[in-house]
A and B are shown apart, each in its own frame.
Chain A
Amino acid sequence: MTTSFSQADIQVLLNQMAEDIRQQIGDRKPLLVGIHTGGVWVAEQLLEILGSDFFDAPLGTLDIAYYRDDFTRIGMHPQVQPSDLPFNVDDRHLLLIDDVLHSGRTIRAALNEIFDYGRPASVTLGVLIKRNGRELPIQADIIGKSINLTEQQHIKLSNDNGLHLELTTNGGE
């Protein structure tokens, strides 16, 4: 079974997220950080909607491959992009963006990495999709859409001349 969200559906979610960001942290001049790869795409869209003046610095990107908790189980990840935080995070308000919040392990790794750069005043988490299946006590502050999926279902963001969300079900793995 495959269901997908169109580009227009996603634009509605992004606009809603941008509105929530304005309301929650609009007065903080936050720093925007996207998690590779999907989170960077979402962050780029939010940057476009909110405008670069809303933020205090260019978009930062994080690749959490070196901070994952599964190295001893599955080894190195094939593609690693260097992390790039073009600002000092000390005492600043960070808006951390990912595409899908699932187990919470990616966010745990991202927080660890951020704290290797310094001590932010606050971190606000924004995700395009919040799904069930949390394994850690981590929750999002800004949410495009909440959905409930079975264990066999996966939702994945792709970027092919615009963002697409695809819901897939794998048969009995």
Chain B
Amino acid sequence: MSSGQLTDNGQLRHFLTIEGLKRPLLTEIMDRAEQFSSISHQQVKKVPLLRGKTIVNLFFENSTRTRTTFELAAKRLSADVINLNISTSATSKGESLLDTLHNLEAMHSDMFVVRHAQSGAAEFIAQHVAPHVSVINAGDGCHAHPTQAMLDMFTIRRHKQHFPNLRVAIVGDILHSRVARSQIQALATLGVGEIRVIAPKTLLPSDCQTLGVHVYHDMEAGLKDVDVIIMLRLQLERMEGALLPSAREYFDCYGLSEEKLALAKPDAIVMHPGPINRGVEIASAVADGPQSVILEQVTHGIAVRMAVMSMTLGSQSEQQEVVA
């Protein structure tokens, strides 16, 4: 899937999924993010790299953190940003998705940042945009959320450096989580020593074994000696039917309490893509505790998104040069 996200010479043209991307490219994203992160400490938190570019945040699904950090990333690169909340916009008046797209293209947009409840939506849009437009997937259904995965990898690298020595556990609602899918692909590509998923059977995808992960159904065994714990949000809005008895019972079995955290290595870090459900998948004492890097993840999201935006639009420049 998504072979179309690279240019002929292997540069990022769109950023739709981690799947199929090679380790050097993921490393380049993190290296560039490292370079961009210093800009946030300047007096003027802005560089003119994407001046004159127009970036449209096309959100068919609600988001605060992701949309805000994409918007900040674009603004720190001096691009102009338009936020479109499609659920309250033209499609509700009956306009088709492609018509909306072509209208935005006619306004000379250079990039679409797309979030959509349907898996594959960003790729569909990437297939139909004009050649000069880049598409970044900001989350599509249960499929992928590649910038979230990369900001998580960036956060892990900041704390742990060498991926091959690490044991990483992803805990919670794997089945509905596009974040988990992208994380597993990124962790595997970066050569992480052991990837564990910890979840009840009802929240695991049927193809779990093919992902190259070790599956655990209880926290006590799964968290033993891990370096990184990634908690997932219980996606109540995506649940159909009775997959869980109750939020309370979920916390007892799969919530991260201080006692369960103690099973991991003493220097283990705790991550969560947000928004967190306190007392459902994570205890407040852990979320706010010294091992939590949850707010760092938010900060890193800006630098990683700056990296991906400049790399995709930069590869466009190169292509135009070749054509010219």
Contact = CB atoms under 8 A, between A and B. Distances in A.
Interface residues of A, number: 18
Given A80-B35, A81-B35, A117 B44 contact: yes
Interface residues of B, number: 24
Contacts of B48: 66-67, 112
A82 interface: yes
B47 A80 contact: no
Contacts of A117: 42-44
A133 interface: no
Given A66-B47, A76-B310, A116 B42 contact: yes
A67 B47 contact: yes
A76 B314 contact: yes
Interface stretch (B67-75, B159-167, B239-247, B315-323): B315-323
A75 B43 contact: no
Interface string A51-77: 000000000000000110001111110
Interface string A71-114: 11111100011111000000000000000000000000000110
A118 interface: yes
A71 B43 contact: no
B269 interface: no
Nearest to A118: B43
A66 B49 contact: yes
Contacts of B50: 71
A113 B313 CA distance: 21
B74 to A, nearest CB: 14
Interface of B: 11, 32, 34-35, 38-39, 42-44, 46-50, 310-311, 313-318, 320-321
Interface of A: 66-67, 71-76, 80-84, 112-113, 116-118
